[in-house]
């Protein structure tokens, strides 16, 4: 049986819709009364694991799921050995450097050396500021990183930005983007290598469904 790791939260509904278009119905995971973390598809040939976004590549890397859907931001942050198969085209956002709107900073390079940067994505932030040759002190936060600049704990933050509304409501502004992020289909490399055709068929169907989804949104 094929196991697919699906992320709870913002990506779930579109992930279920995309798999439905590819012939796998995992709609039971959308039922608010459902408390199961492992849900079979209606056709019985596959099952979904319902996990946190950051855990999707972990389950895939260790072979407990052959396929998974996860944000590109998570892949960049955790750098786990999974195969990136498709850009599914939904869940779009960007990883950005943001500061207080009143700070006067126009770009990341304007930040002072050795300033503090708060982020959930410290690996992405470290890589970015190293490329700028700007030494900074990174502070890992698990919750609302916007409080870093508001309280004065940090000069800036590195975080995901979708509409920018949360930043604006907290007096912050994005000044530079690290990269764009969308939902990606990932696979377990060994399972893909040993695949008798069933996994590739799902990947091909998802590719067609993703192409149709992108065409309809344009």
Name the strands in the sheet holding 38-40, side by side, starting at the edge strand that comes first in the sequence.
38-40, 46-51, 2-7, 67-71, 183-187, 83-87
Same-domain status, 80 and 9 = yes
86, 97: one domain: no
Number of domains in the chain: 2
Same domain, 85 and 98: no
SS3 160: strand
Whose tokens are 């019985």? That residue is 44
CATH of the domain at 48: 3.40.190.10
Residue 49's domain comprises 2-91+182-217
Give yes or no: residues 30 and 109 share one domain: no
pLDDT in tens, the chain (218 residues): 899 999 999 999 999 999 999 999 999 999 888 888 888 887 778 999 999 999 999 999 999 999 999 999 999 999 999 999 999 999 999 999 999 999 999 999 999 999 999 999 999 999 999 999 999 999 999 999 999 999 999 999 999 999 999 999 999 999 999 999 999 999 999 999 999 999 999 999 999 988 875 555 55
Beta partners for residue 47, in sequence order: 3, 40
Same domain, 137 and 119: yes
Question: Do residue 141 and residue 202 come from a single domain?
Answer: no
pTM beyond 0.85: the answer is yes
* Calpha distance 6→46 (Å, rounded): 12
């Amino acid at each position: 049986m094929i196991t697919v790791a699906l992320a709870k939260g913002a990506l779930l509904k579109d992930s279920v819709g995309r798999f439905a278009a590819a012939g796998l119905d995992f709609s039971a995971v959308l039922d608010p009364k459902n408390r199961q973390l492992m849900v079979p598809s209606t056709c019985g040939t596959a099952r979904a694991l319902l996990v946190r976004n950051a855990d999707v590549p972990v389950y895939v890397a260790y072979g407990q799921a052959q396929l998974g859907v996860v944000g590109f931001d998570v892949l960049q942050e955790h750098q786990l050995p999974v195969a990136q198969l498709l850009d599914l085209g939904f869940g779009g956002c960007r990883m950005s450097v943001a500061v207080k709107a009143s700070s006067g900073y126009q770009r990341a390079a304007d930040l002072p050396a050795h300033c503090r940067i708060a982020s959930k994505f410290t690996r992405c932030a470290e890589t970015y500021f190293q490329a700028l040759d700007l030494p900074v002190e990174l502070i890992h936060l698990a919750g609302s990183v916007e409080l870093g600049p508001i309280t004065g704990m940090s000069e800036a933050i590195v975080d995901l930005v979708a509409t920018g509304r949360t930043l604006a409501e907290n007096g912050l502004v994005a000044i530079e983007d690290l990269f764009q992020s969308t939902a990606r289909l990932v696979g377990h490399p060994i399972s893909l290598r040993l695949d008798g055709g069933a996994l590739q068929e799902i990947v091909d169907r998802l590719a067609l469904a993703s192409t149709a989804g992108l065409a309809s949104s344009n």
